[in-house]
Structure 1
């Protein structure tokens, strides 16, 4: 059994990767492991880890060229040896060559690259070198992530023994039967008989909310009794607000900004709409399942991996009219509640946070 576990993250914003590192580190700390954190100074991740009484040390930002800085590699090697690190986790693609080389030189037992990005790893010599010789475990968060990550690489670079497929996990206490913190209908003056839909996530290019907005515009021509909450912030926020204004949808779409009561919101909506271009293992899909709500989503591989079309949600082509028709189909579906209950049943079996931590322990740490 391993004892000393290090998480490396130099992200300056709070995102999915930071959230995973923080929650996983805390959970393993509670299970008796000695947890070490290397983070950039004064970041949200660093501050939250310190607040949770985890051992936090500072490291400068790591980028793709850090791998070639032998002074920095040696410094991390010394840190690993000094603290007798048995296991190290890193998630960012910019980190894996640098961190895995230092781990290899320090004779760290398990060097884990958690791959959350569903994009190909370039077939460069130094990527192959790190994956084949330094990384001991390649932890993919979905089959989609695994297949997409390796598609440009020769078959033998990442051996089957190294591959660990461990899906994300969502906290049951938060999302299964949460308390209602704010009455959303009352707060935003939404009629009780209006269908309430939510889109939850960063307002940015990857999430492609413009496709949902255009579908809502089409839906509005045939059906009127609905409202859509766009929950989140991002660099496309103003662009999407302008589009909503241009399409005269301000009475249909409500931008809530960032909210900390997402579990409470999910409990109050009828279903969730999702329009991302690509995902690794989308948190919001798992959270929707945990909350016993169905989902309407554009059909991409990672979503198809989680959603059973027609049973726990409905998938649509990325086409404005078809997406609008799919939204209408869910609105008119009298089995929405049963679909949500079935989704939650699957979540409880496969995608709880404790299940994820158990899998990490069984498949990597022991």
Structure 2
């Protein structure tokens, strides 16, 4: 069965990591994967290394009619049996071609494109768009219970299921040997290292992280590592300078050696304003890290506060500063939370479990 996976970009984020893991885990005796991204980037390079056939049809816009015929030509050229669209932009730019060719569609929602902090008109348009895209899919997969319940409040979700994200525990194994990142970055072993690993966008809220650092949690025992690029990168650097915390923060830019980075950290922080089910958080937990994250969407389904992580309210600078201070000063608590985090992720969020359920959906659609 030949499946075309479509994804919005070639840069590597949560949805892109999901696709990268999924195409490697699918049973090769039953399923052949082809990947279409709508921008180029490191994801394409990684897939090619794995021998996965990949294509790029460039657009950074949703519902870009100029690329629809090109997607249709690709479906015909590759003799695709099923389309699996990962995310809003991917679905909006590939559903038309699949419908024209009577090819079944699976739409995986990696967090809705609408959220509470949007302008009212923009949110209304996004809700209408998602309703339309869900209707066009034979099956919609939500990566968290919250995403499903949120969708159900606004439109028909009768053909939707929840399949939670899974982690590749061979790649994220806390007991493996990793590169010595601390030596590379000149960070002493005695320093407590806190990491923010995400694209610097409004969603991930790097500003709250930097403002919390300005409250000096754990000073002078802590240092902060911000990994990622994005449209807010320069603004984040400027804010750190303005608040006089540049000496405490290392801006590392985009990196692909995430397991090495996680191994070097003591604490992982994800101050997002909204989420689907954050793969980065699951990866950090799999690496036995204490985490501080915001009580939003799928995140609060994963974290049991005080047991396998700490939760704060979105945008709460003081709350984030206090939570980081607690973990920085209490090594025993950090270790306990990290162990519990690893156990809870391994029990519920394996890539194998996720993939077997997706394979069942592929088979069901083939039989219909």
C-alpha separation between the residues in 2 aligned to 1:42 and 1:122?
A: 25
| 2:171 matches 1:169 | no
C-alpha separation between the residues in 1 aligned to 2:44 and 2:336?
A: 42
Structure 2 match to 1:116: 110
Q: How does 1:8-87 map to 2 (within 5 A)?
A: 8-9=6-7, 11-28=9-26, 30-40=28-38, 43-57=41-55, 59=57, 61=59, 63-66=61-64, 76-77=71-72, 80=75, 83-87=78-82
C-alpha separation between the residues in 2 aligned to 1:29 and 1:288?
A: 27
Structure 1 match to 2:134: 131
The structural deviation recorded for 1:5 is 1.3
Structure 1 match to 2:122: none
Structure 1 match to 2:157: 158
Structure 1 match to 2:258: 262
The structural deviation recorded for 1:280 is 1.2
Structure 2 match to 1:107: 102
| 1:53-93 deviation line (CA, Å, top 9, x unaligned) | 233455454844445x7xx7566556546654332101232
C-alpha separation between the residues in 1 aligned to 2:196 and 2:338?
A: 16
The match for 2:350 among 349, 352, 358 is 352
The structural deviation recorded for 1:137 is 0.6
C-alpha separation between the residues in 2 aligned to 1:79 and 1:277?
A: 37
RMSD value, Cα: 2.8
| 2:248 matches 1:252 | yes
| 1:107-150 deviation line (CA, Å, top 9, x unaligned) | 32x410111123447454x7655533x31110111123333345
Aligned length: 351
Aligned pair in 2 of structure 1 residues 98, 314: CA closer, same or farther (>3 Å)?
closer
Aligned partners of 1:312 and 1:343 also within 8 Å: yes
Asked which structure has the greater CA Rg, the reply is 1
Counterpart secondary structure, 1:192: coil
Q: How does 1:311-350 map to 2 (within 5 A)?
A: 311-317=307-313, 318-333=315-330, 334-350=332-348
| 1:228-286 deviation line (CA, Å, top 9, x unaligned) | 11122222222222222222223322222233332122223221122111111112210
Aligned pair in 2 of structure 1 residues 128, 292: CA closer, same or farther (>3 Å)?
closer
Aligned pair in 2 of structure 1 residues 202, 74: CA closer, same or farther (>3 Å)?
closer
Unaligned runs of 5+ in 1: none
C-alpha separation between the residues in 2 aligned to 1:37 and 1:316?
A: 37
Unaligned runs of 5+ in 2: 115-124
Q: Which runs of 4+ in 1 moved over 6 A?
A: none
Aligned pair in 2 of structure 1 residues 226, 147: CA closer, same or farther (>3 Å)?
same
Aligned partners of 1:219 and 1:325 also within 8 Å: no
Aligned partners of 1:97 and 1:127 also within 8 Å: no
Aligned partners of 1:142 and 1:167 also within 8 Å: yes
| 2:88 matches 1:93 | yes
Aligned pair in 2 of structure 1 residues 199, 65: CA closer, same or farther (>3 Å)?
closer
Aligned partners of 1:7 and 1:88 also within 8 Å: yes
Aligned partners of 1:314 and 1:330 also within 8 Å: no
Counterpart secondary structure, 2:274: coil
Aligned pair in 2 of structure 1 residues 190, 11: CA closer, same or farther (>3 Å)?
closer
Counterpart secondary structure, 1:175: coil
The match for 2:145 among 136, 143, 146 is 143
